[in-house]
Amino acid sequence: MRHGEPAERLQKVLAQLGLASRREAEAWIRAGRLSVNGTQATLGLRVAPNDEVRLDGRVVRRHEAPELVVFLCHRSPGEPLGRPHEDPGAAALMSRLPARAGRRFIAVSPMPRSDGGLELLTSDGELAVKLQRAARHVASEFSVRVRGELSEVQLQGILSGVLDRGTALAVESCESAGGEGANRWYSVTARGGSGKDVRQLFERQAALVSRVLRTRFGPLTLARNIARGQFRELTREQTQALTAMADSRSSSP
């Protein structure tokens, strides 16, 4: 926080710095790991720019908060997303992102490890929380590879959106997108759907699913020039559009 900015809740400040999510910061407060001006922090405490915040006795530097950064990544199926210590034995996508972007990264509605496609990673914990909530409402597109052609009955079952838990996913479309050999691709647009949900929709119709790839999330599309395992930083305009979407969803009922 810069001089002149209003006091904000301690957990929000730590999230904006990329040190933790708000939930993690609240756990730190409950555990007595944070102090403000020499006094143990309590939940709900607000801090001003000139307050001294310490985590486990070490001063938290706030005047050099990293600029808001969001990466759009093309993750290969099976490629680990987290850091090496979280996914031992493989080079994780998250570990290859530029260190200048922040001290930690948070994945927004990540795809299952066996699948892949578009992944969003940010070092801003506050934005990550908002985007995670927005993910329940925004439209996303997926490419699904199955064995053989789907029947009309199977397609109608997918379009119904019914999931194992008894709820229904808002499926806007499911169309054939070509294929090779015995495999066929289908393009699915669903509102609020995760990769796990989309796979389940097909498997409920007895389809043999071998791959689910996310190709669009809200206003962001996975461009063809981003190869598997590669990533790019969102432009300022794209980040602003994403932030506006997240803010509008978090303020809606």
pTM as predicted: 0.72
Per-residue tens of pLDDT for the chain, all 253 residues:
344 457 889 988 888 777 777 888 999 999 999 999 999 999 989 998 889 999 999 998 875 555 678 999 999 999 988 765 555 555 688 888 886 655 578 889 999 999 999 999 988 878 888 888 888 889 999 999 999 999 999 999 999 999 988 888 999 999 999 988 899 999 999 998 899 999 999 999 999 999 999 999 999 999 989 999 999 999 988 988 888 888 886 555 5
Extents of the domains making up the chain: 8-59, 70-135+226-251, 139-217
Say whether domain 70-135+226-251 belongs to CATH 3.40.50.1110. Answer: no
Pinpoint the alpha helices (H) of the chain.
10-16, 22-30, 125-134, 152-160, 195-203, 236-251
Using CA atoms, how far apart are residues 225 and 106, in angstroms rounded to an integer?
Answer: 24
From its phi and psi, is residue 148 left (phi > 0), alpha (psi between -120 and 50) or beta?
Answer: left
- Residue from 203, 204, 175 nearest 190 by CA: 175
DSSP 8-state secondary structure symbol assigned to residue 110: P
Structural fold of domain 139-217: Pseudouridine synthase (3.30.2350)
CATH class of 8-59: alpha beta
